[in-house]
Amino acid sequence: MRLDKAAALAGLTRSEAKKAVAAGRVCVDGAPLRDPAAQVAPESVTVDGRPVAAPQPVYLMVNKPAGVVTATEDRHLPCVSDLLPEALRRRDPGPVGRLDRDVTGLVLMTTDGQLAHRLISPRWKAEKTYEAHCEGRLTPRDAEAFAAGLVLSDFTTKPAKLEIVEAGDDASLARVTLTEGKFHQVKRMFAAVGHPLTQLKRVRIGCVTLDETLEPGQYRMLTQGETDGLLKLCGLL
């Protein structure tokens, strides 16, 4: 959009906007720009220091390390927001759902509250996939039990997919996919079939897969394709 048109979003007429540009009252990314025809993103424009447009929502992924809590602040422990640079933290993106402190992997963070809400609501059936290391040998009967739904003390789980990747006498590795996320759910499901978890990592939410080039503790913004995929999944695009 042209700079003078963006400045007019502040409630100025087109000629007032042109005068404001000429007077250096219109800034792009904090610096005055005096070319009224310059092409700019409205969310980077201020008039007299005030933004003219609501900023674009933020969508990002974090590769959460163990020991970090899925929260924006905590009095005693490091939290996922501490992994973001100050400029992003100021936008105050919130985590989408929670991972337990000892669980690692994909955490989505966004300022888009409606998307966050739908991604964790069972109604929208966004799949979450975890890599699970557990004790003992997993068998196809465990996969059948996950698919049938497990009766836990306070609820019965919705059908979940258990893919056995490696099965040994002492330990196994599996990928488990579910569309709900109750408290400690995956841990409780494995305990219910007699295979307590030793490690859990989330690797996918809907169409977004954890970027394995991210070291634990690193983040990156979602691509437009990833964001659009999530918005479509949740009926928002």
User: What does the alpha-carbon distance between residue 30 and residue 15 come to, in Å, rounded to a whole number?
Assistant: 22
Q: Which one from 74, 100, 211, 228 is the annotated catalytic residue?
A: 100
Using CB under 6 A, count the residues that bind ligand URA: 9
User: What does the alpha-carbon distance between residue 184 and residue 188 come to, in Å, rounded to a whole number?
Assistant: 6
Q: Would you state the structure tokens that stand for residue 39, as one six-digit string?
A: 């092409």
**Nearest residue to 203 (alpha-carbon basis) of 131, 134, 101, 127:** 131
Answer for which of 16, 82, 100, 211 binds ligand URA (CB under 6 A) is 100
Answer for which of 12, 62, 99, 208 binds ligand URA (CB under 6 A) is 99
Q: In the bound complex, what is the minimum distance in angstroms from residue 200's beta carbon to ligand URA?
A: 6
**Footprint (CB under 6 A) of ligand URA, residues 192-211:** 200
Pairing of strands 219-221, 161-167: unpaired
Of 70 and 110, the one with the shorter C-beta distance to ligand URA is 70
Is 4 a known active-site residue? no
Taking CB under 6 A as the rule, which mask of x and - marks residues 103-122 in contact with ligand URA? x-------------------
**Footprint (CB under 6 A) of ligand URA, residues 135-194:** 181, 184-187
Cβ atoms 26, 8 nearer than 8 A: no
Q: In the bound complex, what is the minimum distance in angstroms from residue 5's beta carbon to ligand URA?
A: 47
- Using alpha carbons, list the distances in angstroms from residue 203 to 10, 140, 171, 212, 237: 43, 22, 20, 9, 24
CB under 8 A, 24+ apart: contacts of 74-80: 77/101, 80/107, 80/109
Q: In the bound complex, what is the minimum distance in angstroms from residue 87's beta carbon to ligand URA?
A: 28
Of 36 and 181, the one with the shorter C-beta distance to ligand URA is 181
Of 3 and 103, the one with the shorter C-beta distance to ligand URA is 103
Q: In the bound complex, what is the minimum distance in angstroms from residue 73's beta carbon to ligand URA?
A: 19
User: What does the alpha-carbon distance between residue 171 and residue 49 come to, in Å, rounded to a whole number?
Assistant: 60
**Nearest residue to 29 (alpha-carbon basis) of 11, 43, 39, 48:** 43
Pairing of strands 50-51, 45-47: antiparallel
Of 59 and 190, the one with the shorter C-beta distance to ligand URA is 190
**Footprint (CB under 6 A) of ligand URA, residues 28-87:** none
The residues annotated with a catalytic role in the active site are 100
Q: Which residues make up the interface to ligand URA (CB under 6 A)?
A: 99-100, 103, 181, 184-187, 200
